[in-house]
Amino acid sequence: MRSLNNDVNFLCELTRVSRSGYYKWLRHADELDKDHKDYLKVKKIFDDGKGKYGWRSIKMRLKSMNHKKIQRIMKKYDLVARVRRKNPYKQMIKKSLEHRIFPNKLLREFDQNVPFKVFCTDITYVPFQNRFAYLSVIKDIATGEVVAWNVSLSLEVALVTKTVENMQLESYESIMIHSDQGFHYTNPTYIKIVKELKMTQSMSGKGKCIDNAPIESFFGHMKDELDYASCKSLSELQLAIEEYMRYYNNERKQWTRNKMSPVEYRKYLLKKQ
């Protein structure tokens, strides 16, 4: 019969593992995983976020743990946030000849500190029940606050004009509103409404998503955190989006805004003026 020692030699050779490595593993095989308790904390928050939280979102909810440790644990236990899909709206819209392009006046100056002065806007798709709804959003660049939104099953220009109407600001003068060069924002109807409100239009360079990074970032977080797929009707989707907007504006802390929610940060900026 083969000895135990020979069996170990045979198995190590078969699996291409050194004998010293095998015995080292054997000595520690019964030890508890030192990261297990911290893993449970990270995993609970990760699960609460329905598998959509990255390390920053977890860190803001787990202040006692170093962000590098959170990153290491997420990598070790394969806690990977769900990947976002591309926006088909960007692929499907072509501009008509009478539509007008405006220069980029924002020029990626995203570090604004005066609320209600510089806004960005865009459209994203929201898949539910094997079809798409389309969400138009206007966001204050200084505070990160969503000041207006509109959702529809149609991509007609009314999707964005109604969003502007929903802003309901005390004054629109000296306000800049930045968008991409999509069909809706170069449309004469939209341009007319913006002009009548005395707002200044600004547009990203063609194909340059980074020129409108704040709104792109918002859509990314929203799709990571909103459970829109379970909505069975447009009215259910509207209610879900409405609740998410309330949460985002009032409760969701933002890393780059002193870990305040958009509404808290808006009040903070106004006090400084």
Which amino acid type is present at position 219? F
Q: Average per-residue pLDDT in the chain? A: 87
- Phi-psi label, residue 93: left if phi above 0, alpha if psi -120 to 50, beta otherwise: beta
**Can you tell me the distance from the alpha carbon of 183 to that of 122, in angstroms, rounded to the nearest whole number?**
11
Average pLDDT over residues 153-175: 93
How much is the pLDDT for 52?
Answer: 84
**Can you tell me the distance from the alpha carbon of 269 to that of 266, in angstroms, rounded to the nearest whole number?**
5
Exposure string (b/e) for 67-88, b if CB count within 10 Å is 16 or more? Answer: eeebbebbeeeebebeeeeebe
Query: What is the CATH classification number for the domain harbouring 242?
Result: 3.30.420.10
Tell the burial category of 203 from Cβ atoms under 10 Å away from its Cβ (0-12, 13-18, 19+): buried
Please state the domain count of the chain. Answer: 2
Segment 237-262, tens digit of pLDDT: 999 999 999 999 999 999 889 999 99
- The answer to whether residues 9 and 117 belong to one domain is no
Better-predicted residue by pLDDT, 93 or 63: 63
Cα–Cα distances in Å, from 35 out to 38, 39, 43, 67, 69? 5, 6, 12, 14, 9
Q: Which of these three, 13, 42, 76, is where a domain ends?
A: 76
Owning domain of residue 209 = 88-272
Average pLDDT over residues 37-51: 88
Segment 94-130, tens digit of pLDDT: 545 467 899 999 999 999 999 999 999 999 999 998 8
**250 occurs within a structural domain:** yes
- The answer to whether residues 32 and 144 belong to one domain is no
Model pTM greater than 0.85? no
How much is the pLDDT for 171?
Answer: 86
Q: Residue 270 pLDDT > 90, yes or no?
A: yes
Average pLDDT over residues 41-52: 88
- The answer to whether residues 12 and 98 belong to one domain is no
Q: Give the confidence band of 170 by pLDDT, cuts at 50, 70, 90.
A: confident
How much is the pLDDT for 75?
Answer: 87
Q: Which of these three, 48, 76, 104, is where a domain ends?
A: 76
- The answer to whether residues 108 and 202 belong to one domain is yes
Q: Residue 60 pLDDT > 80, yes or no?
A: yes
Portion of the chain with pLDDT greater than 90, in percent: 61
Better-predicted residue by pLDDT, 32 or 205: 205
CB 249 within 8 A of CB 148: no
How much is the pLDDT for 30?
Answer: 53
Q: Which of 58, 61, 46, 86 is nearest to 220 (CA)?
A: 86
Average pLDDT over residues 23-45: 75
How much is the pLDDT for 273?
Answer: 78
- The answer to whether residues 92 and 117 belong to one domain is yes
Better-predicted residue by pLDDT, 211 or 5: 211
How much is the pLDDT for 207?
Answer: 85
Q: Give the confidence band of 88 by pLDDT, cuts at 50, 70, 90.
A: low
